[in-house]
Structure 1
Amino acid sequence: MTTDQAFEPAIRVQGIEKSFKDLQVLRGVDFDVRAGSIFALLGSNGAGKTTLVRILSTLLKADAGTATVLGFDVAAQPGDVRESISLTGQFAAVDDVLTGRENLVLVARLRHLKNPGAIADGLLARFSLTEAGNRKASTHSGGMRRRLDIAMSLIGNPPIIFLDEPTAGLDPQARIEVWQTVRQLAGQGTTVLLTTQYLDEAEQLADRIAILHKGTIIQNGTLTELKQLLPPAKVEYVEKQPSLEDVFLALVGDTGETNDGADRTDDADRGGAVPARKEPQ
């Protein structure tokens, strides 16, 4: 690698355009991704995020513009690009008939790597899946399946990984598990390009955030830089009325458990009248 290549961004996108018949999805997209960082492409459904990822992963050709991955042109050098990346799509691509370990061994064999069993065991340990490794993938929780999917993507140690909506449809606990996995990837030097429509996900994970809207990047910067686009926050004191939750907890206690017999005894001890129970007619 030359000195110039060493300082090049891991991913460079310049003027990318893409249309499907009369629908223009990407209208000139530009951004760079620094090596070893987490870059979030934030946008609503239909903004063009997945289309852009498919172009960068050589699954789709752009109508105009250029893009490079580790210095390789995605249009002119697709083979080199594919050897440098891994792609995890919106839906986990695991084989439910196989166990977690068997899924990993299969991918390692397809990549013609030595010691596929050792590779599988290492990844199971890395992603806290050892105990579940011998169970069929169909029995794994959503978060475990997604972690297994990402683990499969890392076989061969690709320097760049594309995560397209990695937490779509996951419950809160599973999302946190995936977030921890993504942070670990970046901490070990992997460049991560993450697409998401969740604001908190971009805020929690990304070193830089690009907002894709109607096919163009309308803002690109760190979280601090993006927050500075708005006026400073004002401190205001407002009167807060009790919510129904406040009322409920005050009446029944934090546990929400009451003991009818105890309540009746307490009333009697305080000298209060204990209402007689009416038997059903």
Structure 2
Amino acid sequence: MRPQVVAHRGASHDNAEHTLRAYVAALDAGAEGLECDVRLTADGHLVCVHDRDLRRIASSRGAVSTMELAELDELDFAAWKNPWRDLDDEAPPLDETLDRVLTLRTLLETVADYDRRVEVAIETKHPTRYGGLVERRLVEQLRHLGWDRPGSPARVMSFSWTALQRVERAAPHVPLVQLVEKAHHWPMLRRVIGEDWLVGPGIRELDDHRKLGPRITKAGHDMHVWTVNTAADLDLCLELGVKAVITDRPAYLLDLLDDRDL
């Protein structure tokens, strides 16, 4: 069975992660899903940022949780990916609005307005100074779009079992993905997660611990695997019957699947 191809932080192999440019590129490539991480700003906006601070992606020491959205909007979230772009006289002019901080609301509205069904996998990052407020704000945004109902194109992921419990109580119809960082965490998680929860192990753990994948499926859980970027990674996922592959390279994985006639 062909797995769903989900763009990890957008088409982030070739574009700056979590920018609207990266997500538009993923949609143009045919990605069937988009993955994002969310953090809460000081003035209550959910933004698509992985790290707690901005040193890696925006050359700022500021923590997302201590900054307001207007402050974040002044930063360039893409220059780190191509630091020499200003020296390329032949490069076409860039629309800088595609390279600023991306709010979750903008991403969800982009997906809602797209001309085909695209699913969104939203990871809440923990620990955070705002605790459960992150999940509360997230559920509010899903409810605004009617995406808290059965058949929602959104699913919520987290390494935090407590965070997923919060979402389950507030929006019981939204699918949940328990992310698994280490194989030895699975025996404990297996006892506490919901029967219908999905499970998200990393590809390296599946490769290094070949019994992990079969144990997850034997327990009755479908797998959404991160971060699947090579042909060998994809082959392992196909062997295990993985339902979704989360990748930095959606166009490449879609081509691989087409070559395998899946």
TM-score tier by shorter-chain length is 0.3 to 0.5
The structure whose Rg is larger is 1
Q: TM-score, normalised by structure 1?
A: 0.33
